[in-house]
Amino acid sequence: MTERNKILIADLTGQTLNITFPESRCQVLERADNPDLFKDYDIIWLTANIPEMSDTLALVQDYINVSGINPLMGKNRDDLGLRFPDMSFVFKKAAGNKIPSVIVTAGTIEKPETERVYVRCDLMVWNAILAAHQKKTVYGLFYKDKKEAERLIAAEMKDLYL
């Protein structure tokens, strides 16, 4: 029997998503300074409710941290990850091909004149850095409609277990 991935669905805006899979847990994250939270999980979904979004869902493609804060500063904990982890491609692409993607920022940036959409969510950036440092699979999802977010995550997790 193969061991299933343990999944943490962590919302950064106080919502608890209703998703049940074997070895999964949903919770609200309120800060970005608890690296032990991710230790027992293989897959981390970082979600945030953005009611003013124009689209129902948006997948996080990448991040920009211009906040001056990095949760990896200070003494490294070797039990969690390397001192200088590769931060390329932190967010895994979910299967929803028709869902728009965004870049999440920590800190305020001048928006360059591009087609890309930037959403500020400092907690998502910092928690993604912590999870990537621990070599976790990280997904990022902004949503306006909670039910649609639950459907997308459930479909993506179902594909992993087939």
Q: What is the pLDDT of residues 31-41, one digit of tens each?
A: 766 778 898 89
CA 22 – CA 10 distance, rounded (Å)? 16
pLDDT confidence of residue 138: 96
- Other C-beta atoms lying within 10 Å of the C-beta of residue 142: 27
3-state helix, strand, coil in the chain (%, to 5): 20, 25, 55
For 138, the 3-state DSSP assignment is strand
In the DSSP assignment, the letter for residue 91 is B
For 132-144, the pLDDT digits (tens) are 999 999 999 999 9
Q: Of 40-44, 69-73, 149-153, where does mean pLDDT reach its minimum? A: 69-73
* Res. 160: pLDDT tops 60: yes
Most confident of 18-22, 50-54, 153-157: 50-54
Q: Burial, 14: exposed, middle or buried (Cβ in 10 Å; 0-12, 13-18, 19+)?
A: exposed
pLDDT for 115 equals 67
Dist. CA 136–CA 101, nearest whole Å: 20
Q: What is the rounded CA–CA span in Å between residue 45 and residue 25?
A: 10
Residue 71 has a CB neighbour count (10 Å cut-off) of 18
Alpha helices in the chain (DSSP H): 122-133, 146-161
If you search the block for the tokens 């027992």, which residue do you land on? 40
Go through the domains of the chain in sequence order and give each one's CATH number: 7-161 (3.40.50.1580)
> What would the pLDDT profile of 3-51 be if each residue is shown by its tens digit?
678 889 999 998 888 887 777 778 888 776 677 889 889 999 999 999 9
The DSSP letter of residue 92 is P
